[in-house]
A and B are shown apart, each in its own frame.
Chain A
C-alpha cells in the first residue's frame, strides 16, 4: 500500500496546482483536433525542465490523462475526434448531441472515462510492483529481446503495413546509433555537426509528432474547419450517474477491454475504443440502437480509451520499455531529470514513482469534474482556424526543442525529422515504431553489447541469446506478432483498398 503513503504529496500546493493546470490544459488541448495526446505531452516536456522530477511528471501525466478524455468533447460536439482514441465516441456521441442530448453525452463520456481511468490506474498500482519484482530477474539478453519486442509489436500492430511498420522501427533504431559509440568512442553516421552528440530524444519527439501535424494543417489551405459546435442543453448530472450505473455491461466491457489492450505494447487507444464499442454492441440487448445515438456506445468507447492509459505505463515503469508513443514521450520526460525507469525505480525513487501514479489517480477525478464544466470552452477552442493552430504549434516546437540544450542543432534535428516524417507518413510509414526504435535503440544496443561480452566469456552468443525459457518466450511473442500481422495482411483484412487507407489516414490525421 505504498501508494497511500505518498498520496499526501499530490496535495502540496505546487503539485496540486500543476495537476490542475495539466488537467484543464489537457482537456482543452485534447479537444483540439490535430493535437494528439502524444504531441501535447511532447510539447509540454520543455516546460518541465525547471521543475522537480515528480512535479514534471505530474504535469505530463495529467496532460496525458485529460487529453485522451478531452478528445471526446470535439468528437461529440463537432463530430471531429480530438484524438484517434475518440474515433469510436463520434459514432454515438455526435448523434446524441444532434438529437439535443449533447450535455448527456458529455456527462456520460466523462463519467465513463473516470471509471475506466480509475480502474486502469489501480491496475497500474497493483501490477507494477509485482512486475517490477519479476523484472529484477531480467538479464541483458532478456532486455535486448524486450527492446526488440517493443519495436516489433508496435511496428506490426500499429501500422497498416507490416513491412513499412518494421522498416519505420529500423529507421528509428538506426537514428539511435548516430553519434559517438558508448564503448569504443567511435564516430558513427555523423554527417552533420548538429548530430555529433547523437539525436536528442526530446527535439526528435517534438519534430516527429508536431511538424507532420503542422504540415497537415497547411495542406488544408485557406479553409475554415466548417464544423458547427452544437449547443448543449442542461442535463442533470444525477441522471447521467444513474445511466452509467444502468449501462454497467458496456462500462465493464469498455473498462476491461481498455485495460487489457493498454497492457499490450503498441496497441493504441483508438483500437481500445473501437474494440470495446464492437464488443459492447455484440453483448448488448439493444445492439440495433448502436450508431443511432445510444448511450452504451459512448460509455464503452470512453471507458476503454481511458482505462488504457494506466496499464500502458506498466511496461515503462517496470521494464523501461515504453508500450506506446505517449509512454515513450514520458520516458523522455523521465530521462531529462536523470531518472531511468526500470525494476529498481520503486526502490531508488519511490517518492517520484508513487506520487506520479497517485497524481494520475486524482487526475482522473479532476478530469471528470472539470471536463463537465469546461466542455463548452474546449469545443470553442477546437474551432480555432488551422492557420492559427499551425503557427502556434510551429512556434512552440521551435522554442521547445531549442530550450532542451540551448542548441540550434536540436532545432535543425527537430525540423528535419518532422519534415521527413510527414513525407514518410504520406507513404504509409508510421511515427510510433520510429519513435520506439529511437528510444529503445540505446537500450537494445547496450544490452546486446553487454550480453555479447558475457556470452563470449561463458557459453557463446548463440546459446546466451537463444536459450532459456524467458528468451524463447520473448522471441516467440516477436514472431507471433509479425506472423499475426502478415496473416492479417494476406487474409485481406487490412486496409487493402484506397478508400480504407484514406479513411484510416484521415481519421488519424
Chain B
C-alpha cells in the first residue's frame, strides 16, 4: 500500500489518536474515580489502538480506506455547507418547516442533473419540494404530533 492518500490518513488517525489520548487522560484524572472505572478500561484500549493506527499511518502501512478525492470534496462541499447551516442554525432559527423547505430546494437545485436554464425543471423542483413538505407536515405535525420550533413566517 503506497498509493492511498497517506497525508490524509496521518491527519485522520492523528485526530483519532488525540481524542483517544484525551479520553484516557480525562478518565484517569477525573474524580470520583469509581465513576471512571469502566471508562478507564475502555479508554486504555482506545488510546493504544488509536496510537497504533497513527503509527501505521505515519509509516505508510495503512491498508484500508481510500480517503477523500479532490473531486469528491468539490462535489460534496456545497451540499455539506447547506446541510451544516440547515441543521446547526436554520432549523432552530427559521423553524423546521421553513428551513427544511429552503434546504431541500437548494439541495435539489445544486445536485439535480436536469438543466438549470429550463423553466420546466424549476417547476418540477418546486413541485417535488412542495410534495415532500406536505408529506413531512402530514406525518410529523398531524400524525405524530411533533411540536417543532416556532416558524419565522407563522
Q: Which residues of A contact B (CB under 8 A)?
A: 46-47, 49-50, 160-161, 163-164, 166-167, 170-171, 173-174, 177, 181, 183-184, 186, 188-189, 214-215, 218-224, 385-388, 390-392, 394-396, 398-399, 402-403, 406, 408, 411-412, 415, 419, 423-424, 426-429, 441, 444-445, 448-449, 452, 489, 494-498, 501-502, 505
Q: Are B83 and A415 in contact (CB under 8 A)?
A: yes
The 9 A-B residue pairs whose C-beta atoms are closest, nearest first, are A428-B65, A387-B111, A428-B64, A186-B35, A221-B75, A218-B79, A427-B65, A170-B46, A181-B35
State the CA gap A398–B45 with chains docked (Å).
33
Q: Are B53 and A164 in contact (CB under 8 A)?
A: yes
Interface of A is mostly: helix
Report B128 CB to chain A, min CB distance, Å: 6
Count B-side interface residues using an 8 Å CB cutoff. 72
Interface of B is mostly: helix
Q: Are B23 and A174 in contact (CB under 8 A)?
A: yes
Known A163-B53, A186-B35, A501-B64: A496·B1 in contact at CB below 8 Å: yes
Known A170-B49, A402-B146: A394·B30 in contact at CB below 8 Å: no
State the CA gap A181–B36 with chains docked (Å).
9
Q: Are A46 and B144 in contact (CB under 8 A)?
A: yes
Which residue of the partner chain A has the closest CB to B128?
A: A388
Known A46-B144, A218-B79, A388-B112: A427·B67 in contact at CB below 8 Å: yes
A387 partner residues in chain B, CB cutoff 8 A: 107-108, 110-113
B113-153 contacts to A (CB < 8 Å): 113, 128, 132, 136, 139-140, 143-149
Residue from the set A164, A391, A406 with the largest chain B CB neighbour count within 10 Å = A391
Which residue of the partner chain A has the closest CB to B9?
A: A427
Known A222-B112, A387-B113, A403-B146: A166·B107 in contact at CB below 8 Å: no
Report A386 CB to chain B, min CB distance, Å: 7
In the complex, besides A163-B53, A415-B88, 6 extra interface pairs with C-beta distance below 8 angstroms are A163-B49, A171-B16, A218-B75, A391-B103, A424-B16, A495-B64
Report B48 CB to chain A, min CB distance, Å: 9
Q: Are B88 and A498 in contact (CB under 8 A)?
A: no
Which residue of the partner chain A has the closest CB to B77?
A: A218
Residue from the set A219, A223, A489 with the largest chain B CB neighbour count within 10 Å = A219
